[in-house]
Amino acid sequence: MSRSSSAPSPDTILEIIVASDDRLGIGRGGTLPWHLKGDMVHFKRLTCSVPVDSPKGALNAVVMGRKTWESIPIRFRPLPGRLNHVLTRRRDIDLPEGVLSAPSFDDALLQLRSHRPLRIFVLGGGEIYRAAFDDPRSRILHWTRVRGDHGCDTHLPDPIAAGFRRIETKAPELEGEIEFRIERWCRGAFESKEDLDD
Ligand SMILES: NC(=O)c1ccc[n+]([C@@H]2O[C@H](COP(=O)([O-])OP(=O)(O)OC[C@H]3O[C@@H](n4cnc5c(N)ncnc54)[C@H](OP(=O)(O)O)[C@@H]3O)[C@@H](O)[C@H]2O)c1
């Protein structure tokens, strides 16, 4: 769909959330190459949280590709407490009630507009991150840096080449043999982390 007067507002901010290894690997064989409880807790807290003074029923939205949707075990999807949106060009996809779908990024944002999510998080996978990096509305990157090379077959585009800069790094965490740290990056006019919600 081409952009028109009904195109999604340019004020919309998209927040990308991802975990990648040292080679920007994000997935292997259609699933995550690691199981990091600390990162899952961070993911859930960030994508579910809404300010206490939000209107009743206010939610954040999570936008993901069809393959990432299918990689979530059936008993865990849709992701609870969030408005789930699946990008697919298939017309015959069978989704549970309340889960939205659209054949393009712009269509997804238009649909979401009428649901008024508080924040919009882009969950991946590789194809969707590429589309999101190409979209100037993607201004915030919640990036978990997993140490090592995990033999991935799906990768994140290079955030530095895409114009993101780091504004926050949390202390490294260790789970089993795997070290990771949670960072926040942004691009555009944000000056510091104080300009951004947690
Ligand atoms: N490490 C992380 O943080 C993280 C996060 C998420 C996912 N992952 C991993 O990433 C891998 C999956 O990534 P992937 O690249 O293979 O698949 P994906 O991006 O999850 O989904 C690709 C599908 O999305 C649809 N699609 C893509 N671009 C579209 C667009 N512009 N408009 C409408 N629909 C669009 C198409 O669905 P149709 O074919 O149905 O048309 C396409 O086949 C898995 O290994 C997963 O575990 C990792």
Protein residues with CB under 6 Å of any ligand 1 atom: 18-19, 26-27, 30-32, 65-68, 71, 87-90, 103-105, 123-128, 131, 154
Q: What is the dihedral of CA 28, 65, 57, 112, to 10 degrees?
A: 160
By alpha-carbon position, which residue is closest to atom 40 of ligand 1?
Answer: 88
Paired tokens of 191: 């000056």
**CA angle at residue 87 from 81 to 91, to 5 degrees?**
115
Q: From the options 3.20.20.70, 3.40.430.10, 3.40.50.720, 3.30.70.260, give the CATH code of 14-19+33-146+156-176.
A: 3.40.430.10
Ligand 1 atom nearest 18 alpha carbon: 3
Distance from the alpha carbon of residue 65 to the mean position of ligand 1, in angstroms: 4
The two structure tokens encoding residue 16: 């990308």
* pTM of the predicted structure, to 2 decimals: 0.93
pLDDT of amino acid 2: 38
Cα 39 from Cα 128, distance rounded (Å): 20
CA 16 to ligand 1 centroid distance, Å: 13
Decide: helix, strand or coil at residue 3: coil
Query: How confident is the model over 49-58, as a mean pLDDT?
Result: 93
Atom number in ligand 1 closest to CA 69: 20
Comparing 18 with 6, which gets the higher pLDDT? 18
Query: Which pLDDT value is given to residue 12?
Result: 86
DSSP H or E stretch at residue 113: helix 105-115
Atom of ligand 1 nearest to the CA of 64: 20
What is the Å distance from ligand 1's center to 172 Cα?
28
Q: What is the pLDDT of residue 194?
A: 57
Asked whether the beta carbons of 174 and 152 are under 8 A apart, the reply is no
- DSSP per residue, 59-78: -EEEEEEHHHHHHS-GGG-S
Q: Which residue has the tokens 């999570």?
A: 62
User: Residue 198 — very low, low, confident or very high, per pLDDT cuts 50/70/90?
Assistant: low
User: What pLDDT score was predicted for residue 165?
Assistant: 97
Kindly list the domain boundaries of the chain, sorted by start residue: 14-19+33-146+156-176
More confident residue, 147 or 193: 147
The predicted structure's pLDDT at residue 5: 40
